[in-house]
Structures are given as C-alpha cells and as structure tokens.
Amino acid sequence: MAEAAGSRQQPAAGRAPPDAAYRAEEEPEPASLDAPAAAAGRRRERRSGVSAVGTAERFPGGSLGPAAAPDPDACLLEAAKATPRRSSIIKDPSNQKCGRKKTVSFSSMPSEKKISSASDCISFMQAGCELKKVRPNSRIYNRFFTLDPDLQALRWEPSKKDLEKAKLDISAIKEIRLGKNTETFRNNGLADQISEDCALSVIHGENYESLDLVANSADVANIWVSGLRYLVSRSKQPLDLMESSHNTPRFAWLKTVFEAADVDGNGIMLEDTSVELIKKLNPTLKESKIRLKFKEIQKSKEKLTTRVTKEEFCEAFSELCTRPEVYFLLVQISKNKEYLDANDLMLFLEAEQGVTHITEEMCLDIIRRYELSQEGRLKGFLAIDGFTQYLLSPECDIFDPEHKKIVQDMTQPLSHYYINASHNTYLIEDQLRGPADINGYVRALKMSCRSIELDVCDGPDNEPIICNRNNMTSPLAFRSVIEVINKLAFFASEYPLILCLGNHCSVPQQKVVVQYMKRIFGNKLYTEAPLSSEVYLPSPEKLKMKIIVKGKKLPCDQDILEGEVTDEDEEAEISRRLSEDFSREPKLIWLCRELSDLVSLCKSVQYKDFETSMKAQNYWEMCSFSEAEASRIANEYPEDFVNYNKKFLSRVYPSAMRIDSSNLNPQDFWNCGCQIVAMNYQTPGPMMDLHTGWFLQNGGCGYVLRPSVMRDEVSYFSANTKGIVPGVSPQVLHVKIISGQNFPKPKGACAKGDVIDPYVCIEIHGIPADCTEQRTKTVQQNSDNPIFDESFEFQINLPELAMIRFVVLDDDYIGDEFIGQYTIPLECLQPGYRHIPLRSFVGDIMEHVTLFVHIAITNRSGDGKAQKRSLSVRIGKKAREYTMLRNTGLKTIDDIFKLAVHPLREATDMRENMQNAMVSVKELCGLPPIASLKQCILTLSSRLVSSDNAPSVTLCMKDAFPYLEPLGTMPDVQKKVLAAYDLMIQESRVLIETADITHDKIVQCQKAGMEFHEELHNLGTKEGLKGRKLSKAIESFAWNITVLKGQGDLLKNAKNEALENMKQIQLACLSCGLSKTGSGHADAKSKRCLEAIQEKDTGDENGRL
C-alpha cells in the first residue's frame, strides 16, 4: 500500500527545475525528486497505522528548531507549482478527474499549535527555519533564517559572507511584501515554478533593495510576513511580547467571560463547565477536542486535575478557536494591531471587498453587531473573534446579494431567456421503475422551475391520470396535480409557467382535462391567439402570473372538432428507438378542438432543418430535440443553432437511453442558446449542480437573460468557439483557496475513524475555450480547518456564460469521495475574502461547512494568448493582436468596413495603454495585478511620508486630473514610481478625452453597414455569390457588426472605468493626507475638481457614451 501511494504521488515529469539552478554558494546541491516521492509515500501510510514524524515534535511550544529543518528537496517540491493538466469538462464532466496529480502538504505548522498572536510569530522566527533565497541571476539558495534574540536583526546561514554581513537590521526594513511582487521574482527564470503564496520579499534601504525569499509552505510565509511587519511597525518601541499577548482585547474579553461563569469567584472552574463554556462560544468545536486540549495544557504544566484556571481557559480557547489565516489577515489590514478600528474596517471593505459608499457609521454598526466583547463594542474595535464571525456572516457570502433580486431586463422576447425546466416532473426516482409522485411537482415549483411536464393518460371513471407509463402502479389524479400546480405555480417566481402536456388520452378524457384546467387555473391560463403582426414572442414581464400550455394544435384554417396530429416528439423518439424500423412514420393521435385551443404561444412542431424553419416556422411554434439530435446539430451547425434560437424556443430533453434518469450536461445546449433544457430533478450530481447554480441568479426567478451576442438580430457567435469571442473583453478570474472549515466525513466512506485528507477542485464551465479544472494539494488528516493557501488564474472569454464549481473531495486510495460542492455563475461572484457555504450531494446547505477563499476579477490585458508568466501581464504594442474584420466579398460593404480598421486599432491601443500603465504602477508599488488603485495610493503614501509625518508629494489637480507633484528632492526609486504614475494619468486622460471621437467613428461604420442588412442577398446575387459562398458572406457581415458593436461597448466601458479610477485616486489621496499644503485652499480645490469629474462622468453617460 505504501509503495502504491508513493507511486501515485510522483510529481509530473518535466516539472522539476534545472538542477544547476538550485545550489549552495559553497557547493552544488542538485535537486532530487526521489526523496519527496518517498516522503509522499510514507505520508500516505496513515490508514495502515504508520504515521510520519509530525511537525509537532519539531515545534515544541510553537517554534521550529534548527535541528529539524525540512528536507530541501521536499520544500522545493512544495514551493514549485506544477502546471495543471487542461481537460475538457464540457465533453463529460462526470467522468473527468481533477487536472493535477495529487501532492502531499509539507506544512510546517502542526495541527496542535496554532499561530494566534504576534508572540507566536516572533517565537517561530527566533527558532528559525529554512527559506530559499532568490537571486536575479535565476539562482535559488537554501538558507537558514533566524531572528536575533534581541529582535533587532534578521540573520541567515550558511553563507560565504562575514556573519555581520549575512544579516539585515530590522530598522533598515521599509516594507514586507507577500507574493512575487518584485523585479527579482518577475525576471527570475524559475519564478513560474514558485508558488505565489509561498513567496515574500523584504524591502530595505534607501534604494528599496529586496531580499526575496520562498518558504516551504504558505503558512510559514505568512508567519514571517506578519512577524516582520509587527516588528517594523514597533521598531521604535520596547517590545514585551508576553505582556502584550496578555493585554490584547481578546484576552481581556476572555477574562470577563471566565469570571462571569466562575460563580464561586475562586479563579478556577470544573473542566466540564469550561468545556460547556467554550462549546457555547464556538458551537462547531467537538467536545473531545476541547477536553484533549485541556489535558495537553495541564500535562505541559505537569499537573493532573479536573479543574481549569483562568489562564488555562484563555490559552485553550485561543488555540482552539484561532484560525491562523484569519489572524494573518487581521494583522495585515489593521497595520499590525490585533484588532480593527472603524478606519481599518472601512479601508478593508473599500479596497479589498469592493464595497462602495461605505461610511464610518456603517463600519461602527458592523463592529457593534459582531464584536463579542462589550469593551470593543463601546470603543469601536473588532478583535479576532468578532472579525471571524463577521467573515462567516451572510454579509461576506460569496454570492452577490444584488443577484438575489431581479436585476435583468425582463421585457425581452421569451426566446431570449434560459428557462428553468424539468423532465418527467412527476418522478422522484428513475424513469424505468419510479412511481408517479405529487412531491415531484412540489419540489420543482419550489425551486422556481418554469417548465414542467405532465404525461396524461386515460384513467378509470373518466378521470384522467398522470403516471409513469413504465410503472402504472401508482398513478396521480390529473385534477389533484393541477390543484397543486395552481397553488404553487407562482410560489417562487411570478414569471410565466410552461406546462409541457404529453397527451395520451382519448378524446372524451381530453375534454375532461380541458374542463379541469379552465376551472382550476381560471384567468391564469394564457389562451390569447398570437398576433401575426408580431415577430417575436411576448416578454416574461408581459406574461407575469400566466400559465402557458405547450402541445399539439389542430390547423386553424380547418373547421373541425377533432383531428389527427403526430405524437409528442419525445414519445415518438422512444417508439422509433424501440422499433426495428427506425425510419417508420411517426405515430398519429387524435386531438380535440377544445384541447387544441388551450395551446397558444408554444405549439409543438417537428424540426426538419434550419433552412426550412427560418422560412416557414412561426414565432409561436417550437421544436423539441432529443439529446442526441441536439448534440449532432450543435456540432455540425453551431452558428445556425444560435441564430435559430434568437427567435424560436427550443426544448432539449435527455436521451431515452438514460433509464437511470441521469442528466445531460446543460451547458452544452446553453452554449447554443437552447432555452428549455429539461433536467431530471430527482437525480443529484454535477449536472444538476450546474443547473441549480445557474438559476440562482436574477433573483432565482427561473429566467436568465442570454448574452447580447446570442440575442442581437445581427451578431456572430459559435457554440464551438475555441478562443476569444468577437466584441467581448476576456476577464481573468483569480481564485485563492485559503482554508476549509468543519468538513464532514463523506457519507458511506469505508475508511475507519473520522480522519479525512481533503483537497479542493475548481471547475470552470462555459464555452469550450473556458472549460478547465485545477486542484489544490491534499491536506493530510485535517477536517476542522485545513489550510490550502493556493492561488489559481483562469481566463474567461465569455464571462456571461461562465460558472465556477468548487468541489471538496477526500483523497483516498480506492476513490476520491465527495464531501461538498458549491456552484455559482461568474456574474454573481463577490470580490474579496469570502466564505462559501458548501452543499451536500443532494444540494442541501451543510451547517457550518465552508470554504474560505479570496476572489478577484480583472480585465485581460491584451487580446493575444496568455503569457507564460501570468494571464494579466502587460502586452506591448508589437505583440498586440487586434480583433480583425473579415472580408465579405461584397465590395460596397467591404469599403464601409475598411473605414473602421483605424478607429478599431485606436480603441484597442487606448484601452491597452491605460491597462499597461496601471499594471506598471501596481508592480512598482509591489502589488499584484488584482490590487485596486486605492490600494496603490495607500501603499504609495506610506513611502512618501517623511520621518516627521510630512508628505513628500502633494495632490495637484490639473484640468480635473489628479497629478502628484514632489515637494523637494526625492530618491530615484520614488521618482520612478511617480513617473509611472504620471504615465498612467496621461494614458487615462488620452482615453477620456478622445474616446468619444473614436467611438463615434466606430458607431457610424456600424450604422452604415446595417443599412445593407436587408439587401445582403440581392448584393450577393449581383456579385455572383450563391450557396455556401453567400452564406459565408452573410456570416462575415454578422462577424463584423458584432466586432464593431463589441469594440464600441468596450471603449465606452474603458472610459467609464478611467473616470471612476480618477475619482478613486483623488479620494484616496485626500484620505491619505497627500493634498495637505498648509491651508484649506488645496482641499477645497480638490473637492471642486472631484465634483467636476463626477459631472463629466454623468454628462458622458447621458451624452454620446
């Protein structure tokens, strides 16, 4: 078993860095992959009772001793991130394995000892650990780093340097950066193989030199960053760590909690009482774990008793209830305090969480609601426990609360929406043996399903029934089902409900069906005849509170009371598949006029081909496609399928061969614009997760507006798009998986005990170009609070169709077992630090089971392929790829489109130049591309303040643009930053001032081209084009119109973004004190300029842009 595990954990071939790059200064240290593979194998032996030597033994009292330095090769393996395998989820997600080989976490933090205070960080640093020192020459050296006992210097060894030179004084440190945010990292040839979360840089000296380091895990990097920041912020103050740890707001609160429960006032209480008290404060903790912690504390003090002192209670609570990742975050945003004040919280919400219009009073209200101590609520600060509660609250949920309301335009034609649809709604088991059950309708309607199915057959006593025709043992009375539908039709959504009627009744019972529907539904039933003067279906807004019947219809021009029509498409397919004569004529059934007249907007017709449909099909007619037929059409005619669905409704139902009622992948057909993709609600799994997650948006009303590129009459979109969508700006999704909380053991897991080895898989679903998956490392034997600390980037080419699915699995020999998942549309993601509430296999929210992540979404810089270093790097003009217009072969039209070539290049250059300038400023500020400009100003302001707290630059508004002017001489490094800042302002100014002119040129070309839209066929005939060549010309015309409209919109959005950036920069400068010049005149002028920017913004929005 151990050998098998070892073989499974082998790193991907070719991912090891060159041996020569990893060497000591004294002698070569070639990297070997055998040692880490063997170590991985040993760590996998836990199930057979063999345990590896834990880090707890090397870290007594919270320190990692020098004698227990981790194996350098193992550290290297952990620091180097292997490139994940790209796989096509869109083909068959249920069979896809995660895209990266399983690795073992070599975390240096023992589960028994958590970092919960600055003194813990200092103790760890004083004991020292091995870090990798990165040099600009693409070399990396293993060094052992320690903090001096007097806390005055950082030292490292071995080194050829004199001992006094192999050190860095704490007083010389300017700032500490987490991540690969220096020139050394950006230019190092091996930087791609180093984890972003394990990298840190110490910036020191007047020239801002960098000491660039790589820890063997993200938690170790966080300890060094937090500890050094704490020391730097207090370098001018004497440090008494023990005293400071006992004077924290948290310790004071815990003392009051203990004293309130200590009824005797003796300063001690029974262990049982202490356990109950901690359980009350933190309900997620297990009693056994609390008791074990008390025993550990008492054993370390060599005492055996069932009573707990105040200090022991505080220590146990701190170690059990402190989440290190939350502590590191709190210290970072509080400027190295152990609590947040209202100003800290305000900056966190604005710069990190993306909250706008936040005020100090709003922050104080958050503190009053979440801070646990009375002192904190009165004084206005949020300590670690209150901050943790806030991060876990619904206010920090990953789902944007705006999307819990109706936020989309509901006045578009019905064919422009995806519609939540159910297949065989009456089933709660598989379609082969499952009986009909009324709860199938109750469940679907309560989940905002807007298209349900009723298979109606003849029943006894002239009472129609609904049943599974494969199992007639428990039919439902049609009347009872209709009554339930009437009661719940608009329980979860007020938008129209479509009844897909499968009619298998005789004519007499059809008339009974009509009577029941008219009597029970009343005026909810929509029976108005469609207007021939209209071209599109009515909107969901117009059809509110209406029930629409989909079914067969007798010819309107024949005055007959009943007649024959073809059987329902789904039934016909099943019959043909079960018959040897697959090509036989469809079965005919009798239909009465009364039932026919109930069908208005959704008349069922047979699909022949797109050419026939586009010529002869009426807008109120719709086709149903089997899964196999829809897949074939999507592969052979993807563009035609999208164009067809702009006007007509399409329904896709699962293959008749899915006798277990498994589900198709709805994304395959959403990509083609199919509105009604029927799902087997009774079958949970990945496909149902996608369906449920998708319809959470737009207030969960069951209708989701399709992207404009799939709605516009003249536009080009292919369901098989493998790259960038014309006219759509790609985005980069940055996901950091930080930690998990309270993972349960998988249901039915075969392994003994409660131990699990969790990892997280991130799946991206959307158009084929966007589908991918990546996974984190496996964290061994930790279900309570596994720390992953891994970052990922995904390029999203069509954000409006993308979904992200987080899946937590238990890494096991036999097969990775499901723990929980959460699926969410990309459009509904909230940025910043968020908790994800995980759902069980059947879709229920699991209490207290969460995933802690950081989310950021940035614009993709440039239209070319992703660069090796990062998806969001700058792309220079020479490497820039422009979205090209296509030649239609129609000279008159091509001459018009040629006029747009130069404006399109100008628009792209302006957008890219501004983005590149912004990236340069972020890099020079030592921030990643996901950082906001407000964070840049905050970072910059700390550098531009002299020793007497006077700013060395001042905000100077020139023509309403926020320039920074130096006050006196400045170091070269600061001059470089200011030069980059000036370039960013200049590029933004160019865009803001010239965007209107360029936008008008693009729009004029678009309008001129559209004037020929109706004449395309005639122009093509005159040019001698026909057949495929004519179709290609029309397709190229649609492509060009899509590009022009899309690029115009992108330029408009870029201008609005630039205006918003100018406002944010000015507000940040004002809040940082960079506008103070000794009088109120400058501040007043800045405020007037801010108002001018706001007026300019409003004017542009109301004007041409």
Residue 559 DSSP class: -
Residue 25: other Cβ atoms inside 10 A: 14
pLDDT interval class at 438 (50, 70, 90) = very high
Mean of all residue pLDDT scores within the chain? 80
- Report, as an integer, the average pLDDT of 951-979: 84
Structure tokens at 236: 């001018």
What is the per-residue pLDDT for 188?
Answer: 75
808 beta partners:
760, 820
Residue 61: which residues within 8 A CB-CB, separation 6 or more? 113, 123
Q: What is the pLDDT of residues 111-128, one digit of tens each?
A: 445 777 788 888 899 999
Q: Which residue from 318, 260, 307 is spatially nearest to 119, judged by alpha carbons?
A: 318
In terms of Cβ atoms closer than 10 Å to its own Cβ (0-12, 13-18, 19+), residue 613 is: middle
pLDDT tens-digit series, residues 610-628: 888 888 899 999 999 999 9
**CA dihedral sign, ordered 293, 853, 820, 822:** positive
Structure tokens at 971: 């170091």
- 471: Cβ contacts below 8 Å, ≥ 6 apart: 432, 433, 434, 435, 436
CB distance 380 to 341 below 8 Å? yes
Which of the pair, 580 or 511, is modelled with greater confidence?
A: 511
Q: Please state, in angstroms and rounded to a whole number, the distance separating the CA atoms of residues 197 and 80.
A: 11
pLDDT of 1081 over the 60 cut: no
Residue 684 — left, alpha, or beta (φ > 0 → left; ψ -120 to 50 → alpha)? Answer: beta
Which residue in 305, 306, 380, 303 sits closest to 339, CA to CA? 380
pLDDT digit string, tens, across residues 300-331: 887 777 788 888 899 899 889 999 899 989 98
Q: Which residue has the tokens 């400045």?
A: 970
Q: What letter would DSSP give residue 56?
A: G
Inform me whether the pLDDT recorded for 648 exceeds 90: yes
Rounded-to-integer distance, Cα 842 and Cα 997, Å: 55
Long-range contacts: 898-906, Cβ < 8 Å, 24+? 899/1001, 899/1005, 900/1001, 900/1002, 900/1005, 900/1006, 900/1040, 900/1044, 903/998, 903/1001, 903/1002, 903/1005, 904/1002, 904/1043, 904/1044, 904/1047, 906/994, 906/998
User: Which pLDDT tens digit goes with each residue over 173-192?
Assistant: 888 888 888 888 887 777 77
Query: Tokens 């349960």 identify what position?
Result: 744
Q: 688-732 pLDDT, tens per residue?
A: 999 999 999 999 999 999 999 899 888 888 888 777 788 788 899
pLDDT, residue 313, reads: 92
Q: Distance (Å, rounded) from C-alpha 919 to C-alpha 937?
A: 14
The residues, any chain, with a CB within 8 Å of residue 943's CB and separated by 6 or more, are 174, 175, 974, 977
Alpha-carbon separation of residue 659 from 79, 95, 655, 663 (angstroms): 48, 18, 9, 10
Question: Using CB atoms within 10 A of its CB, is residue 290 exposed (0-12), middle (13-18) or buried (19+)?
Answer: buried
Q: Which of 103-112, 732-741, 826-835 has the lowest mean pLDDT?
A: 103-112
Instruction: Output 76 or 237, whichever has higher pLDDT.
Output: 237
Q: What is the pLDDT of residue 118?
A: 81
For 389, what's the count of Cα atoms within 13 Å in the CB-facing half-sphere?
16
Highest averaged pLDDT of the listed ranges 99-108, 364-373, 871-880: 364-373
Quick one: how far is CA 101 from the chain centroid?
22
The interaxial angle of helices 933-943 and 1028-1072, nearest 10 deg, is 30
Q: What percent of the chain has pLDDT over 70?
A: 80
Residues 342, 360 contacting (CB under 8 angstroms): yes
Peptide bond into 158 cis (omega under 30): yes
- Report pLDDT for 561: 85
Structure-token pair, residue 797 = 């080419």
Q: Per-residue pLDDT for 106 more than 70?
A: no
The tens digit of pLDDT for each residue in 246-297 reads 667 888 899 999 988 888 888 888 889 999 999 999 999 989 899 999 988 8
Per-residue pLDDT, 970: 78
Are residues 1072 and 343 in contact, defined by beta-carbon separation less than 8 angstroms?
no
**Per-residue pLDDT at 74:** 41
Report the pLDDT value the prediction gives residue 41, as an integer from 0 to 100.
Answer: 40
The pLDDT of residue 568: 60
Distance CA(311)–CA(255), nearest Å, equals: 8
Lowest-confidence segment of 375-379, 468-472, 625-629, 1014-1018 by average pLDDT: 468-472
SS3 513: helix
CA distance 423 to 768: 26
Q: What is the pLDDT of residue 219?
A: 85
Helix (H, G, I), strand (E, B) or coil at 434: coil
Distance CA 706, CA 827 (A): 12
Contact 885, 1024 (CB under 8 A): no
pTM for the model stands at 0.82
